[in-house]
Amino acid sequence: MYNAIARNKRNTLIIIAVWVLFFTGIAALLSWLTDNIWVGVALIGFILVYTLIQYFLAATMAMGLAGGIRITKDTNPRLWRAVENLAISEGMPMPKVYVIPDQSINAMAIGRDPWHAHVGATEGLLKITEKYELEGIMAHEMAHIKNYDTRVKMIVFGLVGAFSALAQFCLLFILGFFGSSRLGQPRQRSVFLSILLFPIGLILIAVGFVAWLISAVLGPLVMNGISRQREYLADATGALMTRHPEALMSALNKIELFSEAASRKNIATAGMYFTNPFRRGLFARLLSSHPDTEDRIDRLAEMAQDF
């Protein structure tokens, strides 16, 4: 487990380094094309501010996308106590706890570290689970926080937003350079200037398209791939927390039998959930943010033999 935590921290640094190199290269390219260093500086500044905002607010944003409503010990003592008991037993800070108004059976965890973590459970999960099953699921979510899985997922979530911002930046840049004047009349340019700006426009379109492709398709796929690799470890860590693998197995069986797709779902946040929030099917499984439920149950059954 300690190796996994160290690996997640190392992966965080690698992701950030790749991000810095990529956007520095894009900024340098735009500065060279426009012969204006301030274009690149503006892009780096915009993305840097955007990413910092994402880093510090991504957890709240992700929970907001899910529709989570923050609870206290008085408003929902059952869920609160399940999380509180786990936090105390593991010596972890108490995360912010939410109820997600959705009838699907699911839960989620997000946060840059254990001191800034958020966990949530859907109304459907609270209705259908017994006390021990709820504890098993919340232990799984707390395991993600303990193992720093949530930090890696959150950074990828933020980078998806940064690439989306880059795509919008390129679009606005193109409109500003090649659009109409304020009076709605076409800009008057010499033939030489038009010829010079045309390849710049093509490059900006290409950069914008690649950024959009990463934010809309490749980024979420990478996040889902990371999520699939971390789910098995979170299952094992959660089972060790409760010393009751059968609790998580029972909850997974119920979810497999009775759960439906979440009413409020987003591909960028799919990897933050306990199980895949999208409808099942061959294509969904290929692109799923989670491994097959039956496989997870089989692994937990093997683990239960050692208890």
Alpha carbons 147 and 6: distance in angstroms, whole number: 9
Alpha carbons 154 and 108: distance in angstroms, whole number: 12
Alpha carbons 46 and 40: distance in angstroms, whole number: 10
Alpha carbons 219 and 272: distance in angstroms, whole number: 14
Alpha carbons 27 and 39: distance in angstroms, whole number: 7
CB distance 147 to 5 below 8 Å:
yes
Nearest one of 278, 291, 225, 302 to 252, comparing CA atoms:
291
State the Rg of the chain over Cα: 23
Backbone angles phi, psi at 19, to 5 degrees: -60, -45
CB distance 266 to 144 below 8 Å:
no
**Adjacency order of strands within the sheet including 117-122:** 69-70, 96-100, 117-122, 107-111
Catalytic residue ranges: 141
Alpha helix (H) residue ranges in the chain: 2-34, 37-66, 77-90, 123-128, 131-146, 149-178, 191-213, 219-242, 245-258, 282-286, 293-304
CB distance 84 to 281 below 8 Å:
no
